[in-house]
Amino acid sequence: MLQDASPPRPIRILHLEDSAVDHALVRLALNKSGEFYELERVETLAEFGRLAQTFSFDVILADYRLPGFTALDAWSVLQEQKHTPPFILLSGAIGEPAAVAAIKTGISDYLAKDDLSKLAQVIRRSIEVHSIRRAKELADVELAASEQRLADFADHLQMTMEQERAAIAREIHDDIGGALAAVKFDLSWIGRHTNDAMTQEHVTAATEMLQHALEASQRIMMNLRPAILDQGLVAAVQWLAGGFTKRTGIETKVHVFQEKESLSKAVQLVAYRTAQEALTNIAKHANCSQVIIDLSDAENVLTLEVKDNGKGISPAEHHKPKAFGLRGLRERAKTVGGWLDISSHGNTGTSIILSVPLLPPPSDTQPGTD
């Protein structure tokens, strides 16, 4: 069965033109194109503003010079709207500099009145370009919203991880640590109350193993919840460096230029985790013989740099799909308003720099006092 095809929706055009003759010529040129158009003509700037705001038009045609104003004034009025349709200058010879200047303001296109045979083509092209640009704007807005949601999720995930780490550290301290201490106490009691040489030998071996377990549990607790931060960021970084040298044999130097006493716990934790992850990556991949850690808060910017003299990181490794460690550091830096820079040149090693702007110290001078 045949179905009646609904006619296509006409292209709605607002024509800013003070000449009825020129408007009639535009209508005639569009009728010849074979497409459906609806033209609404206005002559004054006030009427243009009212119609542009009240009705939805697909495109705007505007003469350049009108009594008391120009098309640029109309374009300025249009900018008050959230979404603007394509805006085409349809005028006499205004000169190339004026046309270029108009296009630079965002106006879609320019067509001379003596070239009306191309008007339908210019309108179609402007609508298509505008549609593409609008789709890109919407995609950019959605991308920005998606990135913000991702950043919020990363922030929430980091906070949740720290809470889980603290909870696990407390359980290790309260349960495992307490149990190991009790076992150590019982082994000590057995050692004091037996004279059997073989038993004493087993007690000694068990005590040594137990001591290793206690040290391991303390190390795990420190990694999970760095209580050393209670003594300040410098002490925590120095402790990290000392432990790193002890485990790997890699010479590690810490240079401290200043330390702000009022660093927030969040900033200290981000800096500590950055140094911790950087040292972990160095131990796994750098193949270096020396690490230098610089810590400074000069000019109200906390700067932590961890650099090695190893084999460096290739550009491909920076963008590996599973390079979550470096991405995690970048996201963690953002949670405190900071950023992370990673540089590597050939075989000269790698430098990881965390920068976090700090609030300026409060002034000692109160308002109204000398």
CATH 3.40.50.2300 fits 11-137, yes or no: yes
DSSP-assigned states of every residue in 176-208: IHHHHHHHHHHHHHHHHT---HHHHHHHHHHHH
Predicted local confidence at residue 370, as pLDDT:
39
Distance CA 64, CA 131 (A): 24
CA dist., res. 112 & res. 176, Å (int): 85
pLDDT above 80 (res 358): yes
List the CATH code of the domain at 228-362. 3.30.565.10
Q: What is the DSSP letter of 283?
A: I
Q: What is the pLDDT of residue 245?
A: 94
Secondary structure element (H or E) that encloses residue 13, with its range: strand 11-16
Give pLDDT tens digits for 205-264.
988 888 888 888 877 877 777 777 788 889 889 999 999 999 999 999 999 986 656 788
Q: How confident is the model over 84-94, as a mean pLDDT?
A: 86
Q: What pLDDT is recorded for position 123?
A: 92
pLDDT class of 325 with cuts at 50, 70, 90? low
pLDDT tens column, 107-143: 889 898 888 989 999 999 999 999 998 899 889 888 8
Average the pLDDT over each of 34-43, 106-115, 248-257, 321-330 and give the range with the smallest value: 321-330
Report domain extents, the chain: 11-137, 228-362
Name residues whose C-beta falls within 8 Å of residue 332's C-beta, 6 or more positions apart in sequence.
154, 158, 270, 273, 274
Number of Cβ atoms within 10 Å of the Cβ of 214 = 16
User: What does the pLDDT read at residue 238?
Assistant: 92
Distance between start and end Cα atoms, the chain: 94
User: Which two three-digit tokens encode residue 40?
Assistant: 């609404």
